[in-house]
């Protein structure tokens, strides 16, 4: 056999043996690596299990501690809520009790008010008592806004008549000494006004118009009574005042301008409600004050004229007194000068003499 071929065969066998050995080593290393990996994974699993057990234990401890704290917090909150709820419930019951007492008191007051309203309705249904209400309200207005000497009650303003007006205001006459009465009479057409309000509530235009006409007729009749019974110039003013004690009735009357114009032109009557009459009385009070100021002014001027006359007389007497005083001063100067010189001469003579001659 050729040596070269033999060498090549040997080399191939050596290479084959080396490859086999390398594969065996690699397989062995692979087994070792797998075994090591298995051991590492087993160790990691054991460690992980141990860690998980520790975490689970800590988690259980934390949950137990949390539940304990939550129980404590729940107990504290429950106690506070119970205390607060009891306090609030106590306050609420107390407030409800007070409100029930107030409601009971209000019901009693409402019952009393209902009785009073019933009594007031009975009073208002009586024509005489109805007029008394207007008279009382008129009396209160006059008492509040005028002095007692500026008005009078139950005055006979018309000569030859026995009718007495409820109130009359004293006004000065033309000469300033005599007085003129301004009659004021309170009227209250309740039935006609209530019929009109009922018509308004129903919304029936025909009944509203009918009630308005009825109210106008009643007001005209009242104005005619005031004109015929109480207005008598020059003992009174040429007009009188019809006082309506409630603003609602006054508003219904003054709503129609033609009615007011007719009352003033035909019956010489001016309609006034509480606020309007108060304005009239305030104006009259200002007029009274102006007259008083004028009267006092004339008195002051009379006093000043008298003072002027007295002052002129006083000036003449003062001038005479001044002349007499000056004459007395001159006489005194003359007397003082003459006697002084005479005394001085005597003193000089005394000084010229010696003591021996005196003896």
pLDDT per residue over 73-128, tens digit each?
Answer: 888 887 887 888 788 877 877 887 788 788 778 777 766 665 554 544 444 444 44
Which helix (DSSP H) or strand (DSSP E) does residue 303 occupy? helix 274-352
Residue 222 has pLDDT above 70, yes or no: yes
109 and 226 inside one domain: no
Q: Tell me the range of 48-57, 128-137, 308-317, 334-343 where mean pLDDT is highest.
A: 48-57
**218 vs 336, higher pLDDT:** 218
Q: How far apart are CA 166 and CA 186, in angstroms?
A: 8
Strand partners, 181: 170, 236
255, 270, 293 - which closes a domain: 293
Q: Where are any strands of DSSP class E within the chain? A: 151-155, 165-172, 179-186, 240-243, 269-272
Q: 137 falls in which pLDDT band (50, 70, 90)?
A: confident
Q: Which residue has the higher pLDDT, 289 or 136?
A: 136
Query: Residue 214 domain-assigned?
Result: yes
Q: How many helices (H) and strands (E) does the chain have?
A: 8, 5
Question: What's the angle, vertex CA 152, arms to CA 150 and CA 154, rounded to 5?
Answer: 165
Structure confidence at residue 129 (pLDDT): 45
217 lies in the same domain as 180: yes
Residue that has been written with the tokens 């008195």 in this structure? 299
Judgement on whether residues 143 and 276 belong to the same structural domain of the protein: yes
Q: Residue 212 falls within a domain, yes or no?
A: yes
244: helix, coil or strand? coil
- Cα 247 from Cα 224, distance rounded (Å): 22
Residue 222 domain boundaries:
127-293
With respect to residue 108, please indicate whether it lies within any of the assigned structural domains. Answer: yes
Is 186 a domain residue? yes
Residues 276-291: tens digit of each pLDDT: 888 888 877 776 666 5
Query: In this structure, are 169 and 227 located in the same domain?
Result: yes
41, part of any domain: no
Looking at the structure, do residues 120 and 178 belong to the same domain, yes or no? no
Q: Which residues of 311-347 are buried (b: 16+ CB within 10 A; e: fewer)?
A: eeeeeeeeeeeeeeeeeeeeeeeeeeeeeeeeeeeee
Q: Which of 125, 140, 173 is the last residue of a domain?
A: 125
Task: Say if residue 121 is in the same domain as residue 215.
Answer: no
Pair (119, 136) in one structural domain: no
Q: Mark whether 215 and 205 lie in a shared domain.
A: yes
- For the CA atoms of 22, 28, 33, 37, the dihedral, rounded to the nearest 10 degrees, stands at 160
Q: Is the peptide bond before 44 cis (omega within 30 degrees of 0)?
A: no
Among candidate residues 292, 171, 179, 161, the one with its CA nearest the CA of residue 227:
161
Which one of 233, 258, 293 terminates a domain?
A: 293
Whether residue 176 is found in the same domain as residue 275: yes
pLDDT of residue 128: 47
Quote the pLDDT of residue 117: 46
> For residues 191 and 348, what is the distance between their CA atoms, to the nearest angstrom?
122
User: What pLDDT is recorded for position 358?
Assistant: 41
Query: Above 70 in pLDDT, residue 294?
Result: no
Say what percent of the chain tops pLDDT 70. 71
Residue 194 maps to a domain: yes
179 in any annotated domain: yes
Q: Do residues 249 and 120 share a domain?
A: no
Contact 181, 236 (CB under 8 A): yes
* Residues 268 and 240: beta-carbon distance below 8 Å: yes
This prediction's pTM: 0.47
Give the mean pLDDT of the chain. Answer: 76
SS3 270: strand
Residue 157 sits in the same domain as residue 99: no
| Contact status, residue 169 vs residue 181, Cβ threshold 8 Å | yes
In a domain, 174, yes or no: yes
Q: How many domains does the chain have?
A: 2
Same structural domain, 173 and 217: yes
């Amino acid at each position: 056999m050729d040596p070269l071929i033999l060498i090549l065969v040997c080399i191939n066998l050596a290479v084959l043996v080396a490859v086999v050995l390398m594969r065996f080593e690699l397989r062995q290393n692979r087994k070792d690596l797998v075994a090591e990996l298995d051991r590492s994974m087993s160790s990691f699993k054991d460690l992980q299990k141990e860690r998980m057990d520790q975490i689970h234990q800590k988690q259980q401890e934390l949950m137990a501690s949390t539940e304990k704290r939550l129980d404590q917090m729940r107990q504290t909150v429950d106690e506070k809520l119970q205390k607060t709820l009891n306090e609030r419930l106590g306050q609420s019951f107390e407030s409800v009790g007070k409100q029930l007492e107030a409601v009971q008191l209000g019901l009693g007051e409402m019952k009393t008010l209902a009785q009073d309203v019933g009594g007031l309705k009975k009073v208002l249904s009586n024509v005489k008592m109805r007029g008394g209400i207007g008279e009382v309200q008129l009396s209160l207005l006059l008492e509040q806004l005028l002095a007692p000497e500026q008005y009078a009650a139950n005055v006979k303003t018309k000569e030859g008549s026995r009718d007495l007006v409820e109130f009359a205001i004293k006004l000065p006459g033309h000469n300033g000494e005599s007085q003129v009465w301004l009659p004021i009479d309170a009227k209250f057409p309740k039935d006609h006004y209530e019929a009109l309000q009922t018509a308004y509530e129903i919304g029936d235009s025909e009944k509203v118009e009918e009630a308005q006409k009825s109210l106008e007729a009643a007001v005209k009749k009242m104005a005619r009574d005031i004109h015929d019974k109480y207005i008598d110039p020059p003992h009174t003013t040429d007009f009188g005042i019809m006082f309506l004690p409630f603003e609602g009735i006054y508003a219904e009357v003054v709503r129609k301008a033609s009615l007011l114009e007719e009352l003033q032109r035909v019956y010489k009557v001016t309609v006034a409600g509480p606020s309007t009459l108060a304005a009239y009385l305030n104006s009259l009070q200002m007029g009274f004050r102006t007259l008083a100021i004028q009267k006092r002014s004339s008195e002051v001027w009379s006093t000043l004229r008298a003072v002027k006359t007295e002052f002129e007389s006083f000036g003449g007497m003062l001038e005479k007194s001044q002349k007499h005083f000056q004459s007395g001063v001159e006489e005194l100067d003359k007397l003082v000068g003459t006697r002084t010189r005479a005394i001085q001469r005597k003193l000089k003579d005394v000084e010229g003499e010696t003591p021996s001659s005196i003896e």
